[in-house]
Chain A
Amino acid sequence: MSQEILLNDLFQGLSAEEVKRYSRHLSLSEVGSEGQQRLKKSKVLIVGAGGLGCPVGLYLAAAGIGQLGIIDSDVVEISNLQRQIGHSEKNLGLLKTESLAETITSINRLLRVELISDKLQHNNAPQIFQKYDVIVDCSDNFPTRYLVNDAAFFANKPLVSASVYKFQGHLSVFWPKSKGGCYRCLYPVNLPESMAPT
């Protein structure tokens, strides 16, 4: 009893269950109670629930991020299961957002999820991005990568971007308003003439 009161004092803002669940984090001086509460207050947006989005969702859910947004408009197919570890046979044919949400909330039911089962587009990106603290690009095509890059730039959110091609992987963090370049600095394209400033 007295021990429990002591714990509550030390870990204000975390429930007794959370103190137990995240005890390995809490014992790290770099995380601690303050860090864990910061994770709990954070909202992270995952663009794509495939080969990258699945492990990202699993790890972030387990670590205690407060809210995860997941964007994907595809359904689970059997050829996905070889690498997209957040989906399972019983969810074949289900939307990937729903399938991944089911898996990650079974790891951590304290997690809030927002599922966006539409394609990320011009008309929905700004509203979605401004609600989140960090954007994670797990998409698998160029147009989406440019869109995510631009939306993160205008919303001034850090973008953690990764891609895989055969046996090669790339990882970058873009936050050009803080320092360094953006995805377009790395992979410039000539924009169509119709976009020339008038």
Chain B
Amino acid sequence: MFWNSLVLALNAIRRNLLRSFLTVLGIIIGVAAVITMVTIGRGATQSVSDQISAMGTNQLIVRPGQRRGSGSNTPNFKQKDVDLIQNQVTGIAGVAPYSTVSANVIAQAKNYTTLITGTTNDFFTVGNWELQSGRKFQYGELKSGKASCILGTTVKNKLFAEQNPVGSRVRIKQFTCEVIGVLKPKGQSTWGTDQDDTVVMPLKTVHRRLLGSSDIARIAVKVEDNNNITNSQKKITELLRESRRISENMENDFRVLDMRQIIKTLTGTTRVLTMLLGAVAAVSLLVGGIGIMNIMLVSVTERTKEIGIRLAIGALEKHVLMQFLIESVVLSSIGGILGLILATGLSIFGASLMGVPFLFDLRINIVAFLFSASIGILFGFVPARRAAQLNPIDALRHE
């Protein structure tokens, strides 16, 4: 009986190919929209967390100020804070103090304004930086504040193009600086800034020659064991409260940011956005369902006589119900499948357009398909029941 109903349904759909297509267009668009939104959204979430992971998830960043932007009137850190962390917190892979300043860098006939980062060799460990060529700083260079610098690839490309800059000199403000290395490229950060657009120098050099103060703006800490992050975070907070003489009932005037929390916050935001877009798209699926109901009602009216004949020669109500229900489910399922295909194309296209990875998610595809099929049941039921409950004589008399 089921197979017969299926064949009948397919025949009915084939007979009215154009109308059937227009009927399921709503479902196609709905399914495609939902899946595309969710797929691209998931890709975006993934790329956000990938980028942060590349920076190192077991990283803590210490910055002055409690809230974003309120750091200007709270004191920066001193070398003794760095030493405190270095000496008193256990399980730490590296502590990198750094200060940054924007400056114009000149080499040969070209000049380029970039961010100068003054730091120590721990900067490379904590930030997962590797060198493409050259070397890191020597102890003496750090100690004496020598004018040595390591270029990010963006700066290197702007100033030296394809040439190897190691051994050359660049001019920054009034002093010249020897290029001792080039960083391996990392690309865009989560916040859309180019991480390779920097020049790394010894902290002391930047302090003395560019900033004129020995204040430290940030301290990045790499924790050896992921499970230890919260403990380290607590310990650092305690140490700094003491060092900065913050009394017991006062709030911190600095923050120890955990990268994992930042990942959570950021991916949480994109996830909520994804769900929201998905929900909006799901509404169009409902509209598609109403389209199916409409066409099925028309179909029942058109085929009243046929239904009468079937009932007269021995069809039970459930047979007719089944026939029309299957027809609408087949219709909406075909729409669902076409929607899935369309969605895959759109997602691949959209993902590459937005520069996020295309993550095919079987689960969301299955869910969307089942949802479209159940829309067929839901909205096919009223027309199917109307057909099944027709009075056979009245139906037979219908022309």
Do chains A and B stick together as partners? no
Chain A residues within 8 Å of B, Cβ to Cβ: none
Q: Chain B residues in contact with chain A, CB under 8 A?
A: none
